[in-house]
């Protein structure tokens, strides 16, 4: 498989299953949170790392370390994933390349593991720091129940 990699900094990933909004738009969840000594988080940001307005925030159900905000995604949308074990974090920053059927194709822009970034985050995208920090915080947020990186959304009215 290694010879299929276009470059070390652009590993493809195709295993993100998307949601469809009521209007049929592709969407991904901000989700995750911390357990006693481990954690996981996925945070969604705009292509410049900016906070986005979610289309849906669940108010009830099993919220702890579950799905907390749903965002419409498109080519260029950034997805930050974090795994935390005993306070040590690994971070991966993905960019959506395309959406086919119900799968998102992403490329790995950069990752943080064993204490180092594989490529310079500052050089690639200064605006991404806040999203990365939010994802790191979320992965240590015990039994997280709320979005960490989302603009406030207008009051949800059923009628």
Residues that bind Zn ion (CB under 5 A): 141, 144
Q: Which CB sits closer to Zn ion, 108 or 141?
A: 141
CA angle in degrees (0–180, nearest 5) for 105-28-45: 85
CB of 141 to Zn ion, least distance (A): 3
* C-beta of 93 vs 135, nearer to Zn ion: 135
Residue pair 118/8 in contact by the 8 Å Cβ criterion: yes
Least spacing, CB of residue 39 vs Zn ion, in Å: 10
Q: How far is the CB of 124 from Zn ion (least distance, A)?
A: 26
CB 105 within 8 A of CB 12: yes
Indicate the residue among 66 and 127 with the shorter CB distance to Zn ion: 66
Q: Which is nearer to Zn ion, 128 or 141 (CB)?
A: 141
- Kindly state the helix (H) or strand (E) to which residue 155 belongs, with its residue range: none
Shortest spacing between CB 78 and Zn ion, in angstroms: 19
Which residue, 99 or 144, is less far from Zn ion as judged by CB?
Answer: 144
C-alpha–C-alpha distance, residues 6 and 32, integer Å: 30
The pair phi, psi for residue 94, each rounded to 5°, is -110, 155
Percent helix, percent strand, percent coil in the chain, to nearest 5: 15, 40, 45
Say which DSSP state 116 is in: E
Min dist. Cβ of residue 92 to Zn ion (A)? 19
């Amino acid at each position: 498989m290694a010879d299929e990699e276009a470059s070390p900094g652009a590993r493809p990933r195709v295993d993100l299953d998307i949601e469809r909004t009521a209007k049929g738009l592709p969407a991904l969840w901000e989700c995750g949170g911390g357990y006693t000594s481990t954690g996981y988080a996925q945070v969604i940001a705009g292509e410049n790392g900016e906070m986005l307005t979610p289309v849906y925030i669940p108010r009830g159900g099993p919220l702890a370390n579950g799905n907390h905000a749903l965002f419409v995604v498109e080519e260029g949308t950034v997805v930050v994933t974090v795994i935390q074990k005993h306070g040590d974090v690994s971070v991966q920053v993905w960019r959506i390349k395309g959406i086919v059927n119900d799968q998102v194709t992403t490329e790995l822009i950069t990752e943080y593991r064993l204490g180092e970034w594989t490529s310079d985050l500052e050089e690639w995208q200064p605006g991404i720091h806040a999203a990365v920090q939010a994802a790191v915080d979320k992965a240590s947020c015990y039994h997280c129940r709320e979005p960490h990186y989302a603009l406030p959304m207008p009051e949800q009215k059923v009628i």
